[in-house]
Amino acid sequence: MITVLFTNARLIDPEAGTESTGWLQVNDGRISARGEGSAPSTEGHIVDCNGKCLAPGIIDIGVKVCEPGERHKESYRSAGLAAAAGGVTTIVTRPDTLPAVDTPETLEFATRRAQADAPVNVLPMAALTKGREGREMTEIGFLMDAGAIAFTDCDHVITNTKVFSRALTYAKSCGALVIAHPQEPGLSAGASATSGKFAALRGLPAVSSMAERMGLDRDIALLEMTGAAYHADQITTARALPALERAKRNGLDITAGTSIHHLTLNELDVADYRTFFKVKPPLRSEDDRQAVIEAVRTGLIDIISSMHTPQDEESKRLPFEEAASGAVALETLLPAALRLYHAGQLDLPTLFRAMALNPAKRLGLDTGRLSQGAPADLVLFDPDVPFVLDRFALKSKSQNTPFDGQRMQGKVISTYVAGNEVFRRP
């Protein structure tokens, strides 16, 4: 039995919604006890947290690791190191690789690479349709047997509603979770900004925020018909929130996420065509940003994720319309989220409810909490230390972050997976 005792810790408990000073004990990779006041004596390893925050490790849904096909952008090794440095103990990987993860063989290849190279937990998602082309559904049952934790075509919206409804029906029969990208594909095709004064002044092709609402309305109708388990990967506009609230109130098995970039940046950050700020869906208005923050606070939006999307320099050093969408965010997820804490908009238990507890619940995991018996996937961090982000210091192979050169506050001190330290800041 390997015993680790964390003392003098500021315990962030998203399950209870509390912060308290105390201790936490780990035995053989699981949390065995916790309490306030003086810590018990132990013959194991003692970690003095010096009053810093100890929280469940982050579970990040929607991470792109570019194996197979584009290993020069990101590998399981580099993504795992970046995750550990960012306090992310579980990454849930997207199937939008080359080729797509749409067969048990491809899934098993990815799983083997992840187990061999990544220091954190890796849970793979598989494509919902073959080649993510929206024409023929994948072998959902076989892929679940091979280890797929959820099914998604990522940002390829299935336009054929008959195909999508059949896939949802089959997923329901298998007990599979479907993750979709709510967007009306016709309206959003070719758009690189959100409709409004800013996009018009910059001359950028834009999409109305109503496209997200329309995509979500369609998906909700199909959920009413099929009863499937569904997660919207990114809700980023105020217009979509009433539909989401009604769907939840009506008892549908629906949850929703949003990305850290849409919580902390708005359309004006694009400024003079800065392509590191080009993401999908495009950055929204400040009113939308504030509405989404409030939805996270109330629990209407369940999950915050990084939507980590590595792009190489050649893909980003292009005119704004032609540049690839996406940003890396495994290492910046926590310090960016702490902007909301320091602004007084979200407290730490609420942040970790959205980044750890709710993702674990949605995926049926026993992580994401500090309760007795839970796996000891933990992050120790100082929420107050200031720094200026240098993108070239990131551990990802690609450094396409919109936070380059920005003043941030909050750093990970160490990260633990099953009680084993996988990262310690020098």
Q: The tokens 């980590």 sit on which residue?
A: 308
Instruction: Quote the CA–CA distance of 150 and 171 in Å, as a whole number.
Output: 9
R_g of the chain computed on alpha carbons? 21
279: tokens are: 């993401």
CA torsion through residues 353, 92, 314, 82, sign:
positive
pLDDT of 1? 56
In the sheet where 58-63 sits, what is the strand order?
Answer: 58-63, 88-93, 121-124
265: tokens are: 């940046």
Q: What percent of the chain has pLDDT over 70?
A: 100
pLDDT of 154? 97
**Has this prediction a pTM greater than 0.85?**
yes
Give the CA diameter of the chain: 66
> Which stretches of the chain score pLDDT less than 70?
1
CB atoms closer than 10 angstroms to residue 70 = 19
Crossing angle for the helix pair 210-226 and 161-174, to the nearest 10 degrees: 50
pLDDT of 41? 84
77: tokens are: 């090794």
pLDDT of 196? 95
Per residue in 204-227, pLDDT (tens digit) is 999 999 999 999 999 999 999 999
pLDDT of 42? 81
What is the number of H-type helices and E-type strands within the chain?
A: 14, 18
Q: What is the dihedral of CA 183, 340, 355, 226, to 10 degrees?
A: -30
Tell me how many degrees the CA angle 413-306-287 measures, rounded to the nearest 5.
115
Share the mean pLDDT of the chain: 96
pLDDT of 315? 95
Taking phi first (over 0 means left), then psi (-120 to 50 degrees means alpha), and beta for anything else, what does residue 209 get? Answer: alpha
pLDDT of 220? 98
pLDDT of 5? 96
